[in-house]
Amino acid sequence: MISPDVLALVTTLKMAALTTIILLLIGTPLAWFLAKMQSRFKVIIEAIVALPLVLPPTVLGFYLLIAFSPQYLPGQLWQQATGQQLAFSFSAIVIGSVLYSMPFVIQPLQKAFEQLGDPLLEAGSMLGAGTLDRFFNIVLPSTKASFITAASLGFAHTVGEFGVILMIGGNIPGETRVLSIALFDHVEAFDYAQAHLLAISLLAGSMVLLSAIYLLNRAAPKTPKTAKKAKRVNNEP
C-alpha cells in the first residue's frame, strides 16, 4: 500500500509540473507583450501580475474558493462542462497555483525580453524570418537562461505553496493533499520525526534547485555576443 506521504509527493510533483508548463505557455506571450508595451496602462497590468508577491495567500484562496463554488459563474461553467465540482479538486489547485506563481515566471521573462533589444529581431525580419522563426531561432536561444530560471522558480514556488492550496483544495489524500499540507498534518499530530523528514527533504530540494539556477545564470553570458555586434553596427555612421 502506498503511504500517504508518497501520494502527497506524487500530487505535489504533478501539480508543480502542470503549473510550470501552463505558466510558460501563457506567461511567455504575456511577458513579451509587457516588454514591448508602451502604454501608460502597462504599470497597472504589471501590478496585477505582481500582486501575488504581496497578497496574503489566504486572501487569494478565499476569493478563488468563492469563484470556484457552484453558486458562482466560473464554478457553474466548470460543473456544466465537466460534470464535477471545481472547488476541492486537483484542477482547482492547479488553477490556483498558476495564479499565485505567475510573477515568478513572467517577471524573469519580461526582463530578459526587455534586455534583448530590437536589432536582432529587425535583422531577422529583413532576412524574411517569420514571427515564430524569429522567436525560436533568435529570442529563445538568447534568453534560454531566463527561461530556465523562470521555470525553476515557478516549479519551486508551487512545490512550497500552502495557503492557497489549503483554501481551495482542502486536504484530500491522493487528490489535493500536497507535501506542505502533509508536513502541517504531521506537526498537528506531534509526529515531529516525519515532519522533520519532509521539512529536510523540501529544504534540500530547494537548495539544489536554487544552486542550479545560480550556476546556470553565472555560466550564461549577460548579453549575447550577436546582440552586441548588432548594436555596434547600428551605431556606426
**Is it the case that residue 175 has pLDDT exceeding 70?**
yes
Q: What is the pTM of this model?
A: 0.85
Quickly state the pLDDT bin for 110 (edges 50, 70, 90).
very high
Q: How far apart are CA 204 and CA 202, in angstroms?
A: 6
Q: Which residue has the higher pLDDT, 2 or 195?
A: 195
CB 78 within 8 A of CB 86: yes
Query: Is residue 183's pLDDT more than 80?
Result: yes
Can you tell me the distance from the alpha carbon of 37 to that of 194, in angstroms, rounded to the nearest whole number? 49
For 53-88, the pLDDT digits (tens) are: 999 999 999 999 999 999 999 999 999 999 999 999
Q: What is the pLDDT of residue 221?
A: 56
Alpha helices in the chain (DSSP H): 4-36, 42-50, 57-68, 73-82, 90-116, 119-126, 131-134, 140-142, 144-159, 163-169, 179-188, 192-219, 225-235
C-alpha grid cell for residue 193?
520525526
Give the Cα separation of 209 and 167 in Å (integer): 27
Cβ 143 vs Cβ 193: under 8 Å: no
Q: Is the pLDDT of residue 97 over 80?
A: yes
Distance CA 168, CA 96 (A): 8
* Range 137-165 average pLDDT: 90
State CA 236 to chain mean position distance: 41
Q: Using an 8 Å Cβ cutoff, are 80 and 61 in contact?
A: no
Structure confidence at residue 121 (pLDDT):
73
Mean pLDDT lowest among 4-18, 61-75, 135-149, 150-164: 135-149
DSSP string over 149-170: HHHHHHHHHHHT--HHHHHHH-
What local confidence, expressed as pLDDT, does residue 227 receive?
44
195-230 confidence digits (pLDDT tens): 999 999 899 988 988 888 888 777 765 544 444 444
Cell triple for 75:
464554478
Q: How confident is the model at residue 22 (pLDDT cuts 50, 70, 90)?
A: very high
Measured at the CA of 72, the angle between CA 70 and CA 75, to 5 degrees, comes to: 50
Q: Hey, how many other C-beta atoms are within 10 angstroms of the C-beta on 184?
A: 15
- Provide, rounded to the nearest whole percent, the portion of the chain with pLDDT above 90: 66
* Domains of the chain listed by start with CATH number: 4-228 (1.10.3720.10)
